[in-house]
Amino acid sequence: MLSAKGIRNGFIDFFKGKEHAFVPSSPIVPIDDETLLFANAGMNQFKDIFLGLRRPSKERVVNSQKCLRVSGKHNDLEEVGKDTYHHTFFEMLGNWSFDDYFKAEAIEWAWELLTDVWGIDGESLWVTVFAGDEKDGLPKDKEAEGLWTKVTPIPAERVLAFGKKDNFWEMGETGPCGPCSEIHIDLGPDRCDMKDVSGHKCRVNAGCSRFIELWNLVFIQYNRGEDGKLVELGAKYVDTGAGLERIAAVMQGKGSNYDSDLFMPIIDCIGEITGERYTSRLGNRIDNAFRVISDHIRALVFSITDGGRPSNEGRGYVIRRILRRASRFGRELGMHEPFMYRLVPVVVDCLGDAFGEIKERADYVSTVIESEEAAFGRTLDRGIEIFETAAGRAAKKRDKTISGEDAFQLYDTYGFPLDLTQLMAEERSLKVDKPVFEELMEEQRERARAAQKGASLMVALADAELPVTEDLHKYHADECDSKVIGWIETGSFKREGSIGVGDDIGIVLDRTCFYAEAGGQVGDCGVIESEGGRFIVEDTARVADCVVHRGRLVEGAFKVGEKVKAKVSKDRDSIKKNHTATHLLQWALQQVVGKSVAQQGSLVGPDYLRFDFTCPKALSGKQIKDIEDLVREKIAADLPVTCAVMPREEASKLGAMALFGEKYGDDVRVVAIGVEGEEKVGDAFSKEFCGGTHVDRVGAIGGFKIIKEESISAGVRRITALTGEGLGKYLEQRSGIVDELSAKLKVPAEEVVERVERLIKENKKLTKELKSAGRQKGSDTMAEAKELLDKAERIGEAAVIVGRLSATGAEQGRAAIDMLRRKAKSAAVVLGFEEDGRATLLVGVTSDLVKKGLSAGEIVKEIAPIVDGGGGGRPAMAQAGGTNPKKIDDALAKATELIREKF
């Protein structure tokens, strides 16, 4: 029996034997495609080739792509757990031809691998081809139909034709597309899961699990234009996809994908953790939970590894939905504490050899999942209570529908994604009012948009036609000659006219030496000057390929077409130092903490640098010192810094690090530290994709000091550090503090620490003595209160406990009242005492007397004026203070009188 690993390797090796080049899977979180939330097909990383935007480096390619289908038309989330073959995360085995071979070879090789290499019985295989489409004017794919019976032994009766829905693949509304041919396998009559459905007949594409698709061969030969019409492509492509999970189940003779070796180690671990047993049955809530959790943990491990994080927006919200859905199914297995993070090592064992990145980031992924589980767990049980109430109301309605308002409350207050509420409703044969929920969601979005309105000068510029700014001067010059070609004001671009003093605008030049904010580095500040005007640049931003200098005109006027000089402020030098130091910091972190450290963000400004990185726990004092020492050693060595532009693939092969989530072009700029000359970039100890500004040699940084290390979220730490001038100011300030302490403590600077430690020790001793005295004081107060109880007047069952205490405090006095009410069962208590020259009066009443109309608050209001004070409180407890402690006894006498009157 072939393992999943053997199947994956066998697929890749087979096509390597057909002169295909292996290409690693792209990240499941797309780095350079904003149109996709997650990679959902093997072709995603080759989309630019299909669109004709770049030429392929190889004409034949093979890989196993990490895929996640949880949104849009490719959304299998709701089906997971209910059957044997739907998944969120899966591996897509694929082979591609970029205008090389076409249908004949694709068909012949697919059959050869399935039957001759893997030994699948050809008699169990069926294939489908495109039947044509009258609306698009497309004929039946007779070429593929004929090839199936020509290059393979399959008989014509097992070659079926289906329409556009099943056998025509399209990338989107527009773009490359073409007919496809699917290979299905007949698993036998016993595998039908629709035997009880009236009129059902088992056949290909009939919806039952007897016939399942194994492999889809897509023949891209058309392009759909904006007008919806199809045009024949000059080049033809093959794009195939076979789900590893389904292939593994068939090859291993399993009745379910979940019974294969891709899932059973995870399922076994779930059983060990929960004490429940998996039986592989459908329609069983325990088994459904096993399937959901084993599927979802794979999706979470890969999406978080590749740069996703649970959040309330976009990809992050999808990841959060998956995690919370799995967490809720954990309740079905009796799990009320975080447990999914314990499954991460098993996923790594199963798939880490094929995808080494999940090994490297396993600790980080575990930390993120555990934290998110814990956070949701705190609200889940309360949310379930609210759901049960809403479900109870819905069950009484004629339409059996949970209101949109209730669904929105569950989402907004308790973090229940809509699909989780729908799932729980479905289990009770209820529906959810989705339209009203969506209306409330849109109202919330509108409020958020309104709050952000006007926050940026760039509002409404996304679709504006802005000029391209030539900005290469930013790397080698602090000033340059330029020309004004327009400005941005109130969301629109002005190409003619003049700019007046005081206007808050964004100037656009034909060329600039200013760096626009990007990659964590702040935008440059400075000045733009002409013969008759002066513009202060407060920030620099980029909109598409246009650099915008934001600020105010402070002198004269600027006209479009006028020649100007752009000058960057002296902060540029400090920013350079901090940016290069950030690269050194990342290198040092990986040396000290490990290669699992990955950048999560940064801020490089003139005053300090900030670096966010993955790490499951706080750095120790020793680790921080070791990091500082490594960085300082490199600074002291005054090593060179080399910047080189090269193809992205070449940079990756040289080991240059890229930031997750950052979009890069075909050519990238690499900053290499420790070598001189572009030809030596590969030998650098630190090399990163980076478009920022840097020093020429690291010695210019001058110094390095970490001033703060903190947590900013689960599994993510933040370091704040200083260099250069900022570090000098910091050290000078700290030196001043030491001098001041030395003077106040009257000891030399080198003895300040010892003196402070002695003071802390003495303070602890005094605090302990004070607490001991306070406990004694409290004990004395309780003893006095008990004496008052013993002497108390009785009116019926109620005790009237009124008296004066010797020196005590309000806290001890309230504790005494609580004790007296508890012991007396039914009582009205009034205590008075003097503290620091002031009178304090405390009144407490038991609940039975409150019900009879006796109120501690009313008593206090009556007696407080006697001690020249005021007060108030609740019916059961009240307090007053006054400036005349000599009248405490008079106030207590009045309190007794008031209590007697009530009886």
pLDDT in tens, 370-415: 988 988 887 777 778 888 888 888 888 888 899 888 888 888 777 7
pLDDT at 579 over 90: yes
756-781 average pLDDT score: 76
Is residue 457 pLDDT above 50, yes or no?
no
- Flag the least confident range among 27-31, 523-527, 669-673: 27-31
How many whole angstroms separate alpha carbon 707 and alpha carbon 722?
7
List the beta bridge partners of residue 711.
Answer: 717
**Integer angstrom CA distances of residue 543 from 380, 469, 470, 506, 626:** 42, 10, 13, 11, 41
Contact 877, 844 (CB under 8 A): yes
Round to whole Å and give the CA distance between 243 and 64: 9
Element (H, E) at 399: none
User: How high is the pLDDT of residue 455?
Assistant: 39
pLDDT at 551 (0 to 100): 92
Could you give the percent of the chain with pLDDT greater than 70?
Answer: 94
Predicted confidence (pLDDT) per residue in 605-632, tens digit: 999 999 999 887 899 999 999 999 999 9
| Distance, CA of 733 to CA of 739 (rounded, Å) | 10
Look at residues 568, 583, 570, 606 and name the one whose alpha carbon lies nearest to residue 726.
606
Strand runs (DSSP E) across 655-733, as ranges? 667-673, 686-689, 704-713, 716-723
Over 80: is that where the pLDDT of 467 sits? yes
Report the candidate in 800, 802, 810, 820 with the shortest Cα–Cα distance to residue 778.
810
pLDDT confidence bin for 840, thresholds 50/70/90: very high
Residue 563's pLDDT is what?
94
CB 719, CB 585: distance < 8 Å: yes
Q: Give the chain's count of helices (H) and strands (E).
A: 24, 35
pLDDT of residue 456: 43
Q: Would you say residue 489 has pLDDT above 60?
A: yes
> 85 and 212 in contact (C-beta within 8 Å)?
yes
**Residue 315 one-letter amino acid:** R
Indicate whether 72 pLDDT > 60: no
Q: Which residues contact 523 (CB under 8 A, 6 or more apart)?
A: 514, 515, 516, 517, 539, 540, 541, 550
Q: Which residues, in sequence order, are CB contacts of 225 under 8 Å at separation 6+?
A: 174, 231
Contact 184, 212 (CB under 8 A): yes
In the numeric block, the tokens 């009879």 are attached to 852
- Predicted local confidence at residue 454, as pLDDT: 39
Contact 513, 474 (CB under 8 A): yes
Match 């050693």 to its residue by tokens.
Answer: 633
Burial of 462 (0-12, 13-18, 19+ CB in 10 A): exposed
d(CA 613, CA 601): 7
For residues 523 and 40, the model is more confident at 523
Q: Give the mean pLDDT of 551-559.
A: 89
The answer on pLDDT for 577 being more than 70 is yes
pLDDT over 60 (residue 774): no
Q: Higher-confidence residue: 661 or 290?
A: 290
Mean pLDDT of the chain: 88
pLDDT tens readout for residues 146-184: 999 999 999 999 999 999 999 998 876 777 889 999 999
